[in-house]
Amino acid sequence: MNSILSRRLAQDLRSLSFIAFLCASTILGAAQRTDPFASVLPAYLQGIRSNPLTSDDVFDIFHSKETVAESTTKVGTLFPASTPAVYPNEFRTIDGSRNAPGDLGRALSVGLRNTTIGYADGLGTPGGTTRKGPREISNLVNFQTAPIPNSVNVSGFVWNWGNIVDHDMVLTKIAIPADSFPIAIPQGDPVFDPKGRGGLFLTFNRSGALIVNGVREQVNSNTAFLDGSVVYGSDKKRQDEMRTLDGTGHLKTSAGNLMMFNVNGLPNQPPADRGLDPGLFFLGGDERSNQNLALSTMQNLLVREHNFWADFIKAGDPTLDDTGIYQRARAILVAEIQSITYRDFIPILLGPNALTPYIGYNSSVDPRVSLAFSTAGFRVGHTFLPPVLNRLDARNRSVGDVTLDKAFFQPQLITKFGIEPYLRGLARQIPQEVDVSIVDGVRNFFTGIGTGFDLAALNIQRGRDHGLPSYNQVRIDYGLVPKATFAEVTSNLDFQSRLASAYSSPDDMDLWVGCLAEDHVNGGLVGETMFAIFKDQFERSRDGDRFWYESYLDAATLALVQQQTLGAMIKNNTSIASEMQDE
């Protein structure tokens, strides 16, 4: 892996200057550039850009989904799951099948429970029965009275890209019929029960699950692999709906070169049964594409990037049919997502050299997403969230910030302003510190008497729903020494006091809360427990993926991908390129 490029993107993501973020390297005009790799690239890649051109629970519904195992687009015969895939002889299936042995990680299969079972009865009854209620804990621990900018000055792209990675790897829907597990609102709650009525609850439904060996195990509706399912979907019906199928290999777009809209009413958030026209919302590979404006912005950018590659692949080999173009563009975009995530995003989150070096595909590795990762660890992004999303014009002047509570399910604010103002805002804006404090925009979202939304309480309740064990038990399960006191968890005296007001000891603490409270590891943004959970997951996701880009791609295509950056993606797919200077 190119250390210079790795350092360059790391600097990009940390930069407070939009120019510094985007100017990772010189840009050449797409139509006029000379490709230095043309002599060694496969014919269908000649002419494509190369160096130096340089990213749930609220409306989740667990529904039956048609799953069609797509035949692998290939040359020759299918490879067994113990053999690394070879590009372009074989392409990923859309549902993640034919990757790992036993189809581990396939869409609509259960996640990995690699910790002690934390259900109250060991089988499926929610845990945490002896602890305070999630909303009470949220009020005691997770409150934030003023902005707390991140101490290392990372940009908003860090939480934004993390949102993409999360939605690529995990989608856990609620059960149908609904299995209610409401969150009690403390009497006199200052936001949800200011008049002290009592007996009020926040709506919460348990996740859809299967019974495996007598234990309730949650179903992941997306593929577990970091495979671009956030862009392309995890089932054939959704994939085909988004393709133009007109010989270009493109994904469909709407006016303004934006994502297509859900005109045919595929499963999406918010769901149609809430009285909203599904055709007013974007359709992406993941059902949560409209969840927030920053996420919708990045989803739109990734669709444009796919179409960018499709155009140049078609120009390089006009004999390729629509599927040939589409699958090659898809493979390259997936490789870009993997490269940016592992080269640039993870080192910022965990610190440099946190993962073991990649030595190739290992068919004995279980690539599934662990419940500790999906239900607690990777919800770290919720503490990054700022109280407002900045929107900036080409001169970096505000065109109207959007408060976080007004940023959900608002695609019309993308169609009106485009994605550029949000990209500029993400580059300029410093997210909040990774700690126990959560901004009011997602913790005190009030919609009426006894109704509303508290993301912190939801995360705590979801951990209990999924049978996660306590904070200290997870530490033991991951080979770490349990913490005896809250002072061992965090050196922050305020946080120690908050934790002590909510829990009797670290042995009794909910995992998500404990992870956020920890002092950060050297060079990283997370604590020791979260570091262990992330390291385990990201190494398994890489090593257990038969299509992992570093072993899958030929040398020339790999070199091409490794020279791409998020900055280049923005440059080549938005009007921002004209605002930037080259190095």
**In sequence order, what are the residues at sequence separation of 6 or more whose Cβ sits closer than 8 angstroms to the Cβ of residue 283?**
238, 241, 242, 259, 260, 261, 262, 266, 268, 289
User: What does the pLDDT read at residue 151?
Assistant: 87
Q: What share of the chain is helix, strand, coil (3-state, %, to 5)?
A: 40, 10, 50
**In sequence order, what are the residues at sequence separation of 6 or more whose Cβ sits closer than 8 angstroms to the Cβ of residue 31?**
none
The residue among 493, 539, 516 whose CA lies nearest residue 360 is 539
User: What does the pLDDT read at residue 446?
Assistant: 85
Q: Return the exposure string of 160-184: e unless at least 16 CB atoms fall within 10 Å of the residue's CB, then b.
A: bbbbbbbbbbbbbbbbeeeeebebb
Residue 228 near residue 95, CB atoms below 8 Å:
no
What pLDDT digit, counting tens, does each position of 419-440 carry? 999 999 999 999 999 999 999 9
Over 60: is that where the pLDDT of 51 sits?
A: no
Task: State which residues form the domain around 274.
Answer: 55-544
- What stretch of H or E contains 258? strand 258-259
In a domain, 169, yes or no: yes
The SS3 assignment for 209 reads strand
Over 90: is that where the pLDDT of 31 sits?
A: no
Helix 293-316 and helix 566-573, axial crossing angle in degrees, nearest 10: 80
In a domain, 133, yes or no: yes
In a domain, 273, yes or no: yes
Largest CA distance in the chain: 75
Residue 28 near residue 568, CB atoms below 8 Å:
no
The SS3 assignment for 202 reads strand
- Could you give the CA distance from residue 378 to residue 537 in angstroms, rounded to a whole number? 10
Q: What does DSSP assign to residue 411?
A: T
What pLDDT digit, counting tens, does each position of 107-120 carry? 999 999 999 999 99
In a domain, 446, yes or no: yes
Least confident span in 60-64, 217-221, 384-388, 489-493: 60-64
User: What does the pLDDT read at residue 559?
Assistant: 96
User: What does the pLDDT read at residue 275?
Assistant: 82
The Cα-based distances of 144 to 133, 279, 439 in angstroms read 19, 37, 6
In a domain, 306, yes or no: yes
Least confident span in 16-25, 98-107, 522-531: 16-25
Over 50: is that where the pLDDT of 75 sits?
A: no
The SS3 assignment for 389 reads strand
**In sequence order, what are the residues at sequence separation of 6 or more whose Cβ sits closer than 8 angstroms to the Cβ of residue 229?**
94, 96, 107, 168, 222, 223, 285, 286
Strand partners, 205: 180
The SS3 assignment for 396 reads coil
Higher pLDDT, 163 or 34: 163
**Token digits for 167?**
């939605």
- Could you give the CA distance from residue 184 to residue 353 in angstroms, rounded to a whole number? 43
Chain-centroid distance, C-alpha 291: 12
What pLDDT digit, counting tens, does each position of 537-549 carry? 999 999 999 999 9
- Could you give the CA distance from residue 564 to residue 568 in angstroms, rounded to a whole number? 6
What pLDDT digit, counting tens, does each position of 213-271 carry? 999 999 999 999 999 999 999 999 999 999 999 999 999 999 999 999 999 999 999 98
User: What does the pLDDT read at residue 450?
Assistant: 55
What DSSP assignment string belongs to 436-486?
S---HHHHSEEEETTEEE-HHHHHHHHHHHTT---HHHHHHHTTPPPPSSH
Higher pLDDT, 67 or 418: 418
In a domain, 579, yes or no: no
Helix 3-14 and helix 566-573, axial crossing angle in degrees, nearest 10: 70
Q: What is the mean pLDDT of residues 334-357?
A: 98
CATH of the domain at 524: 1.10.640.10
Average pLDDT, whole number, for the chain? 87
In a domain, 21, yes or no: no
Number of structural domains the chain divides into: 1
The residue among 553, 415, 563, 557 whose CA lies nearest residue 90 is 553
pTM value surpassing 0.95: no
Q: What does DSSP assign to residue 259?
A: E
- Residue with tokens 């393709």, as numbered in its chain: 243
In a domain, 1, yes or no: no
Q: CA angle 571-558-3, nearest 5°?
A: 75
Q: What does DSSP assign to residue 378?
A: G
Higher pLDDT, 275 or 16: 275
